[in-house]
Structure 1
Amino acid sequence: MNNRVLVIASGNAGKIREFSNLLQQLPLQVDPQPEGIEVEETGITFRDNALLKARAVAEATGHWALADDSGLSVDALGGAPGVYSARYADSDPARIQRLLRELGDRNDRQAHFSAALCIAAPDGSVLAAVEGHCEGSITFRARGTQGFGYDPVFEVKNSGLTFAEMTLDHKKQHGHRGRAFALLKPELEKLLANTPSQDASTRPNL
């Protein structure tokens, strides 16, 4: 039997690599979303936005779609940038620069990453939805060359390392997306066991 197609609802190459690594042991054909799909993220929570993206890409491709919405919340900034993490500035370096500028030299640098993961079917039904978190703090300068986004300035609690200083396997173990995926994986395994065909349209909403 051919592996089921799971489309990653993202155009972010780093995110696609990370998901491909997380999903590699499951009987799936992992594809990036087609070019030209733009989904307006109008949700007020990470889960809302993940669901918007998963449903749009599933409908457009006719396959299950996995979407995440993740972001950084900094206590001293009132939870900002939060759901606006990707829109905080025009590029990763600019986002990091703005964050460090707004924090300045204050010592209260506690923060956490959140990741909401949703899988949707082409008919719009929600097959799975989970959320993971990772506690840490914002460094005073960027460190490391791995990862993407805010990874170089987020030091994971009790690790002494930023995400950008971790290997993919280390990040998978400690990161918010890895923790969310640990919750998603058993749900996905049950879905794969219970729906062998490519037609998921009869799956109920969760």
Structure 2
Amino acid sequence: MRTLVIASGNAGKIREFQGLLQHLPLNVQAQPQGFDVEETGSTFAANARIKATAVAAMAGSWALADDSGLSVNALGGAPGVHSARYAPTDPERIEKLLGALSNASERHAQFCAALCVAAPDGSVLIEVEGRCDGWITTTPRGDGGFGYDPIFEVSCTGLTFAQMPLTEKKSHGHRGKAFALLEPQLQDLLSAEPR
């Protein structure tokens, strides 16, 4: 069975990907603790590629990397690729973002997830991107999820990601949409492998 290393130290992302990948013939593993890759790209896709190729080379197996983030229209697309570094912790990131939007009437935002699967030789096997439109709430709602989930209300649902069960988040969310594009390509790669 092919090993696929999730190129992330984020426990929430790892759990989410393990759930999304559980039905595929893959041995899904988290990247080794303490292995960090500097995200120097200017786009989500570039950062996913940087992480996937670095982790694949280090692990000697395929690696799946995600770079995702929140882009808020009223903030010129910020926090964007800096979403995870916008402030030190999830509560501080939420507080900072809500503070930046305290007088904003335009609260539209998009979550974007870029996924990349790379091989140990540095080749990129798959790249896809998924988006989810919504807006930033004025206060956090819900106990689930992670990151900005409590303040991102998904268009046409009336719910934040933090209020959604994982199955609903998968169908509406940026990572789920990206995964829906990735999955058939990943299945094709696995089918093409010699048995």
> What band does the TM-score fall into relative to the shorter chain?
over 0.9
Please say if 1:185 is aligned against 2:183: yes
Please say if 1:143 is aligned against 2:148: no
Which residue does 1:202 correspond to in 2?
Answer: none
**CA shift for structure 1 position 106:** 1.9
Task: State how 1:146-165 maps to structure 2 within 5 Å.
Answer: 146-165=144-163
**CA shift for structure 1 position 105:** 3.2
Please say if 1:77 is aligned against 2:82: no
Residues 19-54 of structure 1, C-alpha deviation per residue, up to 9 Å, x if partnerless? 001001101111000012111100000000000000
Task: State how 1:107-126 maps to structure 2 within 5 Å.
Answer: 107-126=105-124
User: Identity over the aligned pairs, expressed in percent?
Assistant: 66
2: distance between equivalents of 1:195 and 1:81? Answer: 40
2: distance between equivalents of 1:28 and 1:196? Answer: 15
Letter in 2 for 1:120: A
RMSD of equivalent CA atoms: 0.7
Runs of 4+ in 1 over 2 A off after TM superposition: none
Which residue does 1:14 correspond to in 2?
Answer: 12
Task: State how 1:22-33 maps to structure 2 within 5 Å.
Answer: 22-33=20-31
2: distance between equivalents of 1:174 and 1:139? Answer: 17
Please say if 1:133 is aligned against 2:140: no
SS in 2 for 1:145: coil
1: distance between equivalents of 2:43 and 2:177? Answer: 18
Residues 94-124 of structure 1, C-alpha deviation per residue, up to 9 Å, x if partnerless? 0000000000032210000000000000000
Which residue does 2:42 correspond to in 1?
Answer: 44
2: distance between equivalents of 1:24 and 1:196? Answer: 21
Q: After alignment, is 132-141 or 36-45 more displaced?
A: 36-45
TM-score (norm 1): 0.93
**CA shift for structure 1 position 150:** 0.3
Unmatched 5+ stretches in structure 2: none
Count of aligned pairs between the two proteins:
195
Letter in 1 for 2:131: H
